[in-house]
Chain A
Amino acid sequence: MKDPALVRLVGGILALLVVASAVGAVLARKARSEAARAKVANLNARIRAWWLMVGVFTIAVWTGGIGSIVLFALMSVLALREFVTLAPTRREDHRTLVWSFFVVTPLQYLLIAIRWYGLFAIMIPVYAFVLVAVSNVIAGRTDRFLERTATIHWGLMVCVYCVSHAPALLILQIPGYRSNAKLLVFLVLVVQLSDVLQYVFGKLFGRHRIAPVISPNKTWEGFLGGVIAASGIGTALWWATPFTPAEALAMSIAITLAGFAGGLVMSAIKRDRGVKDYGALIAGHGGMLDRIDSLCFAAPVFFHLTRYFFTP
């Protein structure tokens, strides 16, 4: 890591985790009742998982482009497996799923590695769209054809296409700005802080439910508090980005709003399938898709806003 701004950014995240762990330790000592103890234990499990996730993410960013690409590719695979497990696919969809996992997903990340933006941007929306439908036709089963086909393509769009826009930030060429890893850290940090802060504000002040049918834990107080606080932090990090403070604020708001929408949409799917979490991969957090649901929507929006306004 030669870039001092990146070192400061990562140092700040680690400092934040130290504080969180300290608070967690104090709370654990103070908790008296059984319910409070369970709550604090869950909080501390989440904080420990954050250490692991930040560690993995830091190592990936440290190794430069290829580490981040591999990490996000793995995240896509894990997310897609959780998605497909819940999706109502049938035996006849098997070949299509094999294509999705073993060809489409690696190819999408390979295109980032070889910096072929043109194909990266259309491979899944155009070619995988055709491939999934044709492959399902060849399988020759027509009942619920549209549902099965659309579900698989939707899974590819959310888990692979959308997520791949995070490491794709690394191949944007922004005049006067070097080492795009900071941009990736900025995106992930604002998205995840927004999630955490919405949870914290919701727990502290939550009164009015924002979408009771879809996600009973989300409140207006949590939403506003989280979005405002995370956007404030994003603005304060303008020095690590190619943006002015005002632009950093606008970008942060876009990230947090898209992230919130992503969380709601993924919750709606979970409710429809009658489960609480997509998996049990990360202690206290549920599955991969539970952790990155906000990123799924925020990454492509942030990528294209940055690309449209800040690259020639």
Chain B
Amino acid sequence: MIAGLLASLARLVSGASVFFLSGPPDTRQRIYFANHTSHLDFVVLWSALPAPVREGTRPVAARDYWERGALRRYLSEKVFRAVLIGRGGTGSVAEARTTIERLVAEMGDRSSLIVFPEGTRGSGEEVAPFKSGLYHLCRQKPGVELLPVYLDNLNRILPKGEMLPVPMLSRVVFGRSMLLAPEETKRRFLERARDAVCALRDP
């Protein structure tokens, strides 16, 4: 119930109009990936999903942010069932591998994920190059569809470093699903994924 209320609140604040370029998604396991400009991003993306899909979709979020304070911990654990990962760290290969293994384990064979492959929030004008995590995740979960999503105007509603959102209107555009091709190189795949998000800017 709290999830439903929170989703309605997120929709109200963000004034989001939602577009599905190939129809609303079903509950099949997927990886949703989007541009990242605001703390509102994953809540709004999550609230834009049809309720049954939302229940099985877990955001990947930063541990240091979501484990601070009782409310954030409650929301991330009980409501969003977020998969919390460390950021920063030493950036070592071993560390990255552990993170990917955790994501794969948390997905199981049912849960979908919401990821922001830029890694950090951008200014909203440009979509930054994607980090390689998305590629490695797909390697571990071949056959799981990727769905690009473009989040428009959320950076103006709640920019980096601000506490209160300004209730402007926003857009959430779900694109067409894609897969990692068998022989695709990391660079090619990450560019293709980033282009898929950028292409939704003016559908």
Contact = CB atoms under 8 A, between A and B. Distances in A.
Contact of B162 (A82, A94, A101): A94
B159 interface: yes
A91 B161 CA distance: 10
Interface string A82-104: 10110001010011011001100
A95 B164 CA distance: 9
A84 B168 contact: yes
Contact of B168 (A85, A95, A102, A280): A85
Given A81-B15, A280-B17, A94 B155 contact: no
A140 to B, nearest CB: 14
Nearest to A77: B167
Contacts of B167: 77, 81, 101
Given A81-B15, A280-B17, A98 B156 contact: no
Contacts of A84: 166, 168
Interface in A258-311: 279-280
A97 B159 contact: no
Nearest to B169: A85
B166 A97 contact: yes
Contacts of B156: 85, 89, 91, 94
Nearest to B124: A91
B47 interface: no
Contact of B169 (A91, A95, A279): A279
Contact of A101 (B17, B123, B159, B166): B166
Q: Is the interface of A mostly helix, strand, loop or mixed?
A: helix
Given A81-B168, A82-B169, A91 B159 contact: yes
Interface in B140-165: 153, 155-156, 159, 162, 164
A280 B169 CA distance: 10
Which of B123, B153, B162, B167 has the largest number of chain A CB atoms within 10 A? B167
A94 B124 CA distance: 14
A281 to B, nearest CB: 9
Interface string B154-194: 01100100101011110000000000000000000000000
Which of A94, A95, A97, A102 has the largest number of chain B CB atoms within 10 A? A94
A147 to B, nearest CB: 16
Contacts of B124: 91
A279 B167 CA distance: 14
B166 A94 contact: yes
Contacts of A82: 169
A81 B169 contact: yes
A84 B164 CA distance: 16
B169 A94 contact: no
B27 to A, nearest CB: 28
Contacts of B17: 280
A147 B169 CA distance: 21
A77 B167 CA distance: 9
B194 to A, nearest CB: 23
A198 B124 CA distance: 41
A102 B165 CA distance: 10
A268 B125 CA distance: 26
A280 B18 CA distance: 12
Interface of A: 77, 81-82, 84-85, 89, 91, 94-95, 97-98, 101-102, 279-280
10 interchain residue pairs of minimum CB distance:
A97-B166, A85-B169, A85-B168, A91-B159, A98-B164, A81-B167, A94-B162, A84-B168, A81-B168, A94-B159
9 contacts: A77-B167, A81-B15, A81-B169, A82-B169, A85-B15, A91-B124, A94-B159, A95-B162, A98-B162
Given A81-B15, A81-B169, 20 more contacts: A81-B168, A84-B166, A85-B15, A85-B156, A85-B168, A85-B169, A89-B156, A91-B123, A91-B124, A91-B155, A91-B159, A94-B156, A94-B166, A95-B162, A97-B166, A98-B162, A98-B164, A98-B166, A101-B166, A279-B169
Interface of B: 15, 17, 123-124, 153, 155-156, 159, 162, 164, 166-169
